[in-house]
Amino acid sequence: MRMKLSAVFLLLCGLILAQPVSGQDLTGRWAAVNNIKLDSGEFQTWILQVTQTGSELKGKIVAMGFATDVKGTLTGNHFEISGWEDKKPFVVGDFANGELRGTQWGSAFVAKPITAADEIPKLEYIEPPALHKVPYNGLAKTPPMGWNSWNLFQNKVDDQTVRTMADAMISSGMRDAGYIYVNIDDTWEGVRDAQGNLPANHKFPDMKALADYVHSKGLKLGIYSSPGPRTCGSYQASYGHEAQDANMFAAWGIDYLKYDWCSAGNIYTNDVLHPIYQKMGDALQATGRPIVFSLCEYGMGGVEKWGSEVGGNLWRTTGDISDEWASMIGNVEKQVPTAPYAGPGHWNDPDMLEIGNGHMSDDEYRTHMSLWALVAAPLLAGNDIRTMSDTTKSILLNREVIAIDQDPLGKQASPVKNGDFETWVKPLADGSVAVGVVNLGSAAGPATITARNLKLPGAVKLARDLWAHKDVNFKGGAFTATVPSHGVLLLRVSSR
Ligand code: GLA
């Protein structure tokens, strides 16, 4: 009898725990409106479809600009929802009076039970083309270098910002160090006209004149679109207008296109990523203008295996970077399996640089720069070049580190872990190697680089510390130095 009572007690406890603590249930479909007004006058909208089990939430968010499976929790009235493979929630808020109120990536939203008027209109399905190989465009023989507006400016980028940034690329020495692309990311797009042309919005009154200005400075201009109907920021994109948009980019004098999956995920499944990217690869080549093709689909569908087949010069391997240690190190580690696919003309891209944006320490930014160089990543600065500090300059403009990134052999280093230390070795075209030891731990400690592990053809003749800018001595076939927490020891070592 005692046993039976405790079993009943446990059952009751189980039932109580399975209920949402607040007694509320989010199960259903919700229509959300963000407090972000687009150039078209529309507000950003999205639909949350969710099932609640106990306090666990599972479902999907379909927005104007993207779609993702989501999961999360409801604790009391408070919900936190994350998407993609991110642990960090991007939708948070409270459930009260039959409404959800909160923020999506920091922007306020209100969501109500959906009505027919809130549904995102379904567009006609355009069949993906048959596969074929798009010939190599001859560009990006070394990883592209430049600046991109997204990490710092997001929707605040405009013509004046781009012009002053181009000026600063020269006065700061960035251009002469190899940073030549000035790339406008999302939020430049206006509203497609009756002829199907997509003009820029009021922030970019004359894109051709802007390209002429950027070119007159010895720089190149990049732009952004999506194979879906909308960009990730909900602006109009290239779905069904690929050739027309590519021709317009060429007519403006664009030299680089970042093509971001975004709302293509509302129309297509991931098994057609390859033909969908091929469509724009073909369209760019048909323009006859050399345009670097940058694929941005967060590493889905084994892009490293087919990215170069669609004429891609680089492809993202991960979700978005943010200006914090865990995100930076996580991105570069996630792309380790893609190493065999990097090489001249086609690069793995762990996302743009955050150096100088203020939320990592100088040691962490030096590690960021060193790792991007070791893995032959594109170097696209994401900070305000016009106002950068001397320390930021000393990191972005370290020519000895840039030379590692730009080495013509184009090999991507892979790491070997030993306790808190991670050692990355990159073979270089002249037979020397670059070796970086990163301290992942929370305390400074001694890192040793052993010549034997560098697989050089002979004994070490020359070793140089690329951050201290001085030669170091490999006594007895090894070199040891103290590396601060999250810092790096980066050497170039040669046996000739
Ligand atoms: C996605 C990309 C980012 C940026 C934004 C713009 O999140 O991964 O790099 O281009 O879209 O909306």
Encode pLDDT of 414-455 as tens digits.
999 999 999 999 999 999 999 999 999 999 999 999 999 999
User: By three-state DSSP, how is residue 234 classified?
Assistant: coil
What ligand 1 atom has the least distance to the C-alpha of 351?
9
Average pLDDT of the segment spanning 376-391: 98
Structure-block tokens of residue 154: 């997001």
Average pLDDT of the segment spanning 72-98: 93
Lowest model confidence (mean pLDDT) among 30-39, 246-255, 350-359, 389-398: 30-39
What ligand 1 atom has the least distance to the C-alpha of 65?
12
Q: What is the pTM of this model?
A: 0.93
Structure-block tokens of residue 172: 């700061």
The pLDDT-based confidence of 325 (bands split at 50, 70, 90) is: very high
Q: From the CB of 297, is ligand 1 less than 6 Å away?
A: no
Q: Comparing C-alpha atoms, which of 336, 302, 296, 248 is closest to residue 148?
A: 296
Structure-block tokens of residue 481: 């130095």
Please check whether residue 102 is in contact with residue 109, taking contact to mean a CB–CB distance below 8 angstroms. yes
Is the pLDDT at 282 greater than 50, yes or no?
yes
Is the pLDDT at 10 greater than 80, yes or no?
no
Is the pLDDT at 294 greater than 80, yes or no?
yes
Average pLDDT of the segment spanning 485-493: 98
139-178, pLDDT tens digit by residue?
A: 999 999 999 999 999 999 999 999 999 999 999 999 999 9
Euclidean distance between CA atoms 144 and 125, whole angstroms? 34
**Beta pairing class for 43-53 and 28-37:** antiparallel
What ligand 1 atom has the least distance to the C-alpha of 233?
12
| pLDDT for position 27 | 97
Is the pLDDT at 11 greater than 50, yes or no?
no
User: Which string of DSSP letters, residue by residue, matches 328-383?
Assistant: HHHHHHHTGGGGGG-BTTBEEE-----TTSSSS-HHHHHHHHHHHHHTT--EEE-S
Kindly list the structural domains of the chain, giving each domain's residue range(s) and its CATH number in brackets, ordered by start.
16-117 (2.40.128.120), 145-405 (3.20.20.70), 414-494 (2.60.40.1180)
Lowest model confidence (mean pLDDT) among 118-122, 176-180, 305-309: 118-122
The pLDDT-based confidence of 86 (bands split at 50, 70, 90) is: confident
Is the pLDDT at 20 greater than 50, yes or no?
no
Please check whether residue 398 is in contact with residue 178, taking contact to mean a CB–CB distance below 8 angstroms. no
Please check whether residue 67 is in contact with residue 75, taking contact to mean a CB–CB distance below 8 angstroms. no
What spacing in Å lies between the alpha carbon of 291 and ligand 1's midpoint? 20
Q: From the CB of 66, is ligand 1 less than 6 Å away?
A: no
What spacing in Å lies between the alpha carbon of 34 and ligand 1's midpoint? 17
Average pLDDT of the segment spanning 102-129: 94
Query: Which residue carries 């724009």 as its tokens?
Result: 280
Q: Where are the alpha helices (DSSP H) in 217-289?
A: 242-252, 273-287
How much of the chain, in percent, has pLDDT values that exceed 70? Answer: 96
**Distance of alpha carbon 330 from its chain centroid, rounded?**
12
What spacing in Å lies between the alpha carbon of 395 and ligand 1's midpoint? 25
56-75, pLDDT tens digit by residue?
A: 999 999 999 999 999 999 99
Structure-block tokens of residue 432: 């020397």
What are residue 100's DSSP bridge partners? 95, 111
User: Which string of DSSP letters, residue by residue, matches 106-138?
Assistant: TEEEEEEE--GGGSPPPPPPPPPPPP-PPPP-S
Please name the helix (run of DSSP H) or strand (run of DSSP E) that holds residue 453, with its range, or none: none
| pLDDT for position 17 | 44
Side chain identity at residue 393, one-letter code: K
Neighbours of 231 (CB within 10 A): 24
User: By three-state DSSP, how is residue 311 classified?
Assistant: coil
Euclidean distance between CA atoms 293 and 246, whole angstroms? 11
The pLDDT-based confidence of 22 (bands split at 50, 70, 90) is: low
